Amino acid sequence: MNYNVNGECGALASAATFGTVGGGTNYDPDLLRGWGKRINNWEMTAGVQHELMPRVSLTVQYARRWYGNFRVTDDTNVTATDYTRFTVGVPNDSRVPNSGGTVTALDLTPTGFARPAQYLVTLAKNYGDMTEVFTGVNIGLQARLQNGLILQGGVGPGRRACALRRAPLRGRTRHPRRTRARPTRGASSPRSSGTTPSTGSRAGASTC
């Protein structure tokens, strides 16, 4: 097959490794042994129930759940020199943050993209502090009618907050892409040629 520039497509960036078996996934030994390494979540709930009138009650419950020991998958086969910066214009709309300005992002060079990925799965705390907290309130109303029929209903609004505070990686240089956070729910995203805005350090994806 012709992987070079032709009349329809540009050159294939990964032509040298296309169709070959390369790279792999390694696990940080510190992730596999010892206490406090598994993904976890803690939950606290508190509720009260009050009788509004005979056979009619109101229940209010507060819930807070927080997660820990997030994991990231880091491609160690790329360095900071494998990225280029580009800017994207922001629409001139007062409802949009940084309206009329630009957003700077990073993209992997063809040379870096052609290099087989070599993933390292490790704890997110090696890159910074990653948090995810859910808080919610459940409000329910229950009525027991005289004929034995029970009517109940309610609402349960909640809010999930995520944060990632980057920190220098011990002994290595962090890069803006090919690092994926492994959330408590769902799978990490596949490799792509795009990236999210960064300030030059490798960023893990948030679970939100």
Q: Which helix (H) or strand (E) holds 112?
A: helix 110-114
Is 117 within the bounds of a domain?
Answer: yes
- Cα–Cα distance measured from residue 183 to residue 160, given in angstroms and rounded to the nearest whole number: 13
Is 194 within the bounds of a domain?
Answer: no
- Cα–Cα distance measured from residue 180 to residue 165, given in angstroms and rounded to the nearest whole number: 15
Determine the structural domain holding residue 70 and report its residue range. Answer: 24-182
Is 176 within the bounds of a domain?
Answer: yes
- Side chain identity at 20, as an amino acid letter? T
DSSP letter assigned to residue 113: H
User: pLDDT value at position 36?
Assistant: 85
Is 207 within the bounds of a domain?
Answer: no
Is 106 within the bounds of a domain?
Answer: yes
Answer yes or no: are the C-beta atoms of 159 and 183 closer than 8 Å: no
> ∠ at Cα 22 (20, 23), nearest 5°?
160
Q: 119: exposed, middle or buried (C-beta count within 10 Å: 0-12, 13-18, 19+)?
A: buried
Long-range contacts of 92-97 (CB under 8 A, 24+ apart): none
Domain count for the chain: 1
Is 144 within the bounds of a domain?
Answer: yes
Is 16 within the bounds of a domain?
Answer: no
Q: Which helix (H) or strand (E) holds 29?
A: helix 29-32
Answer yes or no: are the C-beta atoms of 105 and 88 closer than 8 Å: yes
- pLDDT by residue for the chain (208 residues), tens only, comes to 677 777 777 777 677 677 777 678 999 999 988 888 899 999 999 999 999 999 999 999 999 999 999 999 988 988 888 989 999 999 999 888 888 899 999 888 888 887 888 899 999 988 888 899 999 999 999 999 888 899 999 999 999 998 877 765 444 444 444 445 544 333 333 333 333 333 333 333 334 5
User: pLDDT value at position 196?
Assistant: 34
Is 203 within the bounds of a domain?
Answer: no
